Amino acid sequence: MRRLSRGSKIVLASHNAGKLREFSTLLAESDITVVSAGELNLPEPEETADTFVGNSEIKALAAARASGLPALADDSGFCVSALDGQPGVYSARWGGPTKDMTVAMERVHRKMGETTDHGASFVAALCLAWPDGETHSVVGECHGQTVWPPRGEHGHGYDPMFRPEGETRTFAEMDESEKNAISHRGRAFALFLKECVEN
Ligand SMILES: O=c1nc[nH]c2c1ncn2[C@H]1C[C@H](O)[C@@H](COP(=O)(O)OP(=O)(O)OP(=O)(O)O)O1
Ligand SMILES: [Mg+2]
């Protein structure tokens, strides 16, 4: 498998400001330089797959082909066990056309009704794609519980309604480095460094 060498420049194929912030911190200690899909005016491809890995491949390949650079994409979501894993790959779409995450969290809460099963997890698939079409994906998960009402001002997305296992605080009550150390994205990123970057 092909690896990124030190000093490589890649495209970060995401239009989500919260993810981009987390990746810039995660990448700060590597030698990799990044430019975002938004900075290059790359279009957002339609996420037509029904798996996180499938959608991360769609996003990474579109950005790599359009830019001529290796591209790293993230497809992630919130999986609630009482809802059979929903919203899952539809996590962004549950926020409606404007991806309003307050709307999305309320929808999860309403659908959960009176259930006593509060199990939930975040999943992130990261795909590194090359302009010639080669891809490599890794997956990270973080298990925990849903919390209602939402708590905390940090983070993004569903963070205010998720408490990771063994913690009293929600993701949104942690600072970014604490979240990155245990999150689905942080775990997937560690695998990406191990499997996709020369050391
Ligand atoms: O750490 C997280 N903390 C809270 N919520 C999160 C997290 N990670 C993903 N999520 C939610 C946000 C979004 O509703 C969906 C991802 O959807 P997803 O299609 O992968 O991202 P997106 O459309 O926001 O941006 P993009 O596709 O350009 O990367 O899951
Ligand atoms: Mg998306």
8 Å CB contact between 120 and 78: yes
With a 6 Å cutoff on the Cβ, whether 16 touches ligand 1 is yes
Per-residue pLDDT tens for 74-90?
Answer: 999 999 999 999 999 99
With a 6 Å cutoff on the Cβ, whether 163 touches ligand 1 is no
What percent of the chain has a predicted confidence (pLDDT) above 90? 97
Best residue among 91, 106, 161, 189 to mutate for probing ligand 1, ranked by most atoms within 8 Å of CB: 91
Inform me whether the pLDDT recorded for 151 exceeds 90. yes
Which residue out of 50, 74, 75, 100 is catalytically annotated? 75
Calculate how far, in angstroms, residue 74's C-alpha sits from the geometric centre of ligand 1.
Answer: 8
Domain assignments of the chain as residue spans, ordered by start:
9-196
Calculate how far, in angstroms, residue 75's C-alpha sits from the geometric centre of ligand 2.
Answer: 7
Inform me whether the pLDDT recorded for 29 exceeds 90. no
How crowded is the C-beta side of 103, counted as CA atoms within 13 Å?
10
With a 6 Å cutoff on the Cβ, whether 78 touches ligand 1 is yes
Establish whether 100 is a catalytic residue.
Answer: no
What percent of the chain has a predicted confidence (pLDDT) above 70? 100
**pLDDT-based confidence at residue 172 (cuts at 50, 70, 90):** very high
- Has this prediction a pTM greater than 0.95? yes
Per-residue pLDDT tens for 124-141?
Answer: 999 999 999 999 999 999
Average pLDDT across the chain, whole number: 97
Annotate 12-40 with DSSP letters as a single string.
E----HHHHHHHHHHHHTSS-EEEETTTT
Residue found under tokens 């992130």: 124
Taking domain 9-196, whether its CATH number is 1.10.260.40 is answered by no
8 Å CB contact between 87 and 80: yes
Inform me whether the pLDDT recorded for 199 exceeds 90. no
**pLDDT-based confidence at residue 190 (cuts at 50, 70, 90):** very high
Per-residue pLDDT tens for 2-26?
Answer: 999 989 999 999 999 999 999 999 9
Q: Taken in order 142, 147, 153, 156, is the CA torsion positive or negative? A: positive
